[in-house]
């Protein structure tokens, strides 16, 4: 019988790798995570907002009725296990841009698919005098944000203590794959799981997948007046992280794909912010990240078309905090029990790109 030091080797410890690791852990499976804190990570830049109604047309997020209850349970359980605050349930206030938009949105609230995510109370705009909202606004509920750096750091500390985490630069040339298993740094594993985010583009096993990474930049500001616990969403988001602090984002750009903050992005965000805020603020800093997005805007997960012990969990894009927990559960059930993946996320949909 084949002997393994661990069943799974997880490469990458952003929101994807962390979610997979916790589901394997709760399933009683053995694993080791390889993380490299010196590399930039979109999970450390992302604001971590979860929002059930998105876009200018107030569209319900894909799989929202499954994703949101599961995510809240997942993060709530981790808060208890790790002893730290991770989840901030915060309503989202969407100021109307015009009377026409006001009429359109209010008509949509009668939709039984959308109404559970709209507050039944009156417009809270009067509580937010620092926001320009002359046409009023809509309050979205079952929303909020996850403190992703705290989640990643606390999870890393936990897994280190259990000897389940290795801090090192992962070099694929150190990896030996055979039909019997995976060998890496003198240890034997049954299966490898790549959770590398943007860096999957450098992975020769999966660089044929149609990633369309997107650079995003956000600001951190100090406001002249205290702000209430409402995320503001109108073209950009303004996320309160303390009484006088907000994160503001985000931009979308495709060239160049680097991690550098740019003056153009800062100017773009500040122009929109000045139209949104009726109070002054001080720019405290800016960050850039690269979202691991996909051509069809659906995640990429599953087993390699040729090698049954090589797998991927990636492509979470802009909605990673809600997608990662639920899809990590589905992915781990696929690996452990052979349960079929949703075909919309299974990399089988792109096997023709590999074999062409």
Model pLDDT, residue 226: 97
Give the number of other Cβ atoms within 10 Å of residue 203's Cβ. Answer: 18
Give the number of other Cβ atoms within 10 Å of residue 200's Cβ. Answer: 23
Question: Does any domain span residue 1?
Answer: no
Q: Residues 6 or more apart from 93 whose CB is under 8 A from it?
A: 124, 125, 128, 131, 133, 137, 138, 139, 140, 230, 231, 232, 233
In the predicted structure, residue 41 carries a pLDDT above the cut 60: yes
Question: Does any domain span residue 113?
Answer: yes
What percentage of the chain reaches a pLDDT higher than 70? Answer: 99
255 and 344 housed in the same domain: no
Confidence of residue 251 (pLDDT cuts 50, 70, 90): very high
263 and 313 housed in the same domain: no
Please name the helix (run of DSSP H) or strand (run of DSSP E) that holds residue 262, with its range, or none. none
Question: Does any domain span residue 83?
Answer: no
Domain boundary among 272, 291, 310: 291
Distance in angstroms (rounded) separating the CA atoms of residues 102 and 96: 6
10 and 113 housed in the same domain: no
Model pLDDT, residue 6: 97
223 and 323 housed in the same domain: no
138 and 220 housed in the same domain: yes
Question: Does any domain span residue 165?
Answer: yes
Write the pLDDT tens digit of every residue in 179-194: 999 999 999 999 999 9
Could you write out the DSSP letters of every residue in 294-312? BTTSS-EEEE-SS-TTEEE
Number of domains in the chain: 2
218 and 286 housed in the same domain: yes
Q: Are 192 and 11 in contact (CB under 8 A)?
A: yes
- Looking at residue 118, the DSSP 8-state letter turns out to be B
Q: If you average pLDDT over residues 198-219, what whole number do you get?
A: 95
The CATH number that applies at residue 106 is 3.30.9.10
Question: Does any domain span residue 309?
Answer: yes
Domain boundary among 291, 317, 341: 291
Q: If you average pLDDT over residues 27-40, what whole number do you get?
A: 95
Domain boundary among 244, 270, 291: 291
Whether residue 331 is preceded by a cis peptide bond, meaning omega within 30 degrees of 0, is no
Distance in angstroms (rounded) separating the CA atoms of residues 348 and 356: 14
Q: If you average pLDDT over residues 118-139, what whole number do you get?
A: 92
129 and 235 housed in the same domain: yes
Could you write out the DSSP letters of every residue in 335-346? HHH-PPPPTTTB
The CATH number that applies at residue 156 is 3.50.50.60
What are φ and ψ of residue 311, in 5° steps? -140, 170
Could you write out the DSSP letters of every residue in 13-27? -SHHHHHHHHHHHHT
178 and 307 housed in the same domain: yes
Q: Are 194 and 186 in contact (CB under 8 A)?
A: no
Beta-carbon-side half-sphere exposure of residue 25 (alpha carbons within 13 Å) = 18
Give which of 211, 239, 227 is closest to 48, Cα–Cα: 239
287 and 153 housed in the same domain: no
Q: If you average pLDDT over residues 251-261, what whole number do you get?
A: 94
Question: Does any domain span residue 56?
Answer: no
Q: If you average pLDDT over residues 334-353, what whole number do you get?
A: 97
222 and 349 housed in the same domain: no
Model pLDDT, residue 1: 42
112 and 236 housed in the same domain: yes
Phi-psi region of 302 (alpha: psi -120 to 50; beta: other; left: phi over 0): left
Question: Does any domain span residue 22?
Answer: yes
Q: For the whole model, what pTM was predicted?
A: 0.96
Model pLDDT, residue 2: 64
277 and 317 housed in the same domain: no
Distance in angstroms (rounded) separating the CA atoms of residues 206 and 224: 48
Question: Does any domain span residue 342?
Answer: yes
Write the pLDDT tens digit of every residue in 286-319: 999 999 999 999 999 999 999 999 999 999 998 9
Average pLDDT for the chain: 95
Domain extent at residue 278: 91-142+214-291
Confidence of residue 168 (pLDDT cuts 50, 70, 90): very high
Q: If you average pLDDT over residues 261-275, what whole number do you get?
A: 97
């Amino acid at each position: 019988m084949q002997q393994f030091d661990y069943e799974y080797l997880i490469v990458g410890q952003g929101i994807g790798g962390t979610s997979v690791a916790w589901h394997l852990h709760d399933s009683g499976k053995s694993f080791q995570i390889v993380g490299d804190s010196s590399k930039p990570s979109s999970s450390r830049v992302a604001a971590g907002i979860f929002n059930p109604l998105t876009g200018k047309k107030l569209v319900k997020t894909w799989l929202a009725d499954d994703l949101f209850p599961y995510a809240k349970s997942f993060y709530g359980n981790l808060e208890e296990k790790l002893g730290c605050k991770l989840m901030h349930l915060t309503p989202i206030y969407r100021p109307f841009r015009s009377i026409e938009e006001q009429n359109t949105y209010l008509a949509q609230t009668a939709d039984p698919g959308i109404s559970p995510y709209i507050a039944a109370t009156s417009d809270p705009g009067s509580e937010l005098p620092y926001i320009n909202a002359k046409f009023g606004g809509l309050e979205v509920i079952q929303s909020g944000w996850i403190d992703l750096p705290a989640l990643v750091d606390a999870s890393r500390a936990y897994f280190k203590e259990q000897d389940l985490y290795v801090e090192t630069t992962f070099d694929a040339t150190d990896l030996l794959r055979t039909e019997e298993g995976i060998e890496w740094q003198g240890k034997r594993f049954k299966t490898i799981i790549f959770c590398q985010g943007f860096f999957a583009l450098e992975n020769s096993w999966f660089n044929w997948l149609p990633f369309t990474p997107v650079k995003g930049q956000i600001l951190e500001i100090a406001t002249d007046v205290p702000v209430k616990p409402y995320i503001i969403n109108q073209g950009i988001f303004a996320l309160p992280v303390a009484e006088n602090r907000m994160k503001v984002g985000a931009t979308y750009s495709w060239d160049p794909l680097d991690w550098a903050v740019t003056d153009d992005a800062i100017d773009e965000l500040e122009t929109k912010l000045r139209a949104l805020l009726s109070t002054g603020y001080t720019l405290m800093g800016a960050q850039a990240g690269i979202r691991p997005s996909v051509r069809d805007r659906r995640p990429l997960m599953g087993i390699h078309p040729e090698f049954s012990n090589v797998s991927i969990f990636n492509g979470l894009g802009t909605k990673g905090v809600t997608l990662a927990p639920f899809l990590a559960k589905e992915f781990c059930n696929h690996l452990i029990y052979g349960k079929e993946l949703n075909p919309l996320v299974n990399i089988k949909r792109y096997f023709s790109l590999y074999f062409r």
